[in-house]
Copies of this chain bind each other. A is one copy, B any other.
Amino acid sequence: MKKPQDKTARMTKALREGGVRVTRQREALLKVLTEAADHPDAAELHRRAQVLDDTVSLATVYRTLTVLEREGVVHRHSFESGGARFEVADPVHHDHIVDIDTGHIIEFRNDKIEELQRLIAAEMGYEIVHHRLELYCRKLA
């Protein structure tokens, strides 16, 4: 069982070492991000962060998310509808299943599919820098 506070501590350390200032607002956002079990968008992160610190503005949420993404501690996804959604970067890459009826997002990882992608790209003379695989699904009866 990984404790969220450990994650936050590791993240703030990584940020400071990257020359990034850890402000009250950024601490609030980091806490909200590490505690999120879902994939919230910027507005939702703003709402959650304001509970912890009501001075957090939406502009800062966006600016901070950009910084966190650049520092590699957050991943940005854009699923089929709506704006960008965010999650704390997982050291192990995973893909997503989107339940088109409920909107729920499920993570999965499959080494075979990762390897196949690498092979396909290589056959075409390419090396994968990053990729995106989303399965839009419906629950089986």
Contacts and interface: CB of A to CB of B under 8 A. Distances in A.
A97 B121 contact: yes
A20 interface: no
Nearest to A110: B120
B126 A137 contact: yes
A140 interface: yes
A70 to B, nearest CB: 15
Contacts of A130: 136
Contacts of A133: 117, 131-134
A59 B108 CA distance: 39
Interface in A105-141: 106, 108, 110, 112-113, 116-117, 120-122, 124-140
Contacts of A128: 135-137
Contact of A137 (B106, B121, B139): B121
Given A78-B78, A129-B138, 12 more contacts: A78-B80, A97-B121, A97-B126, A100-B129, A112-B116, A121-B135, A126-B135, A126-B139, A127-B140, A131-B136, A133-B133, A133-B134
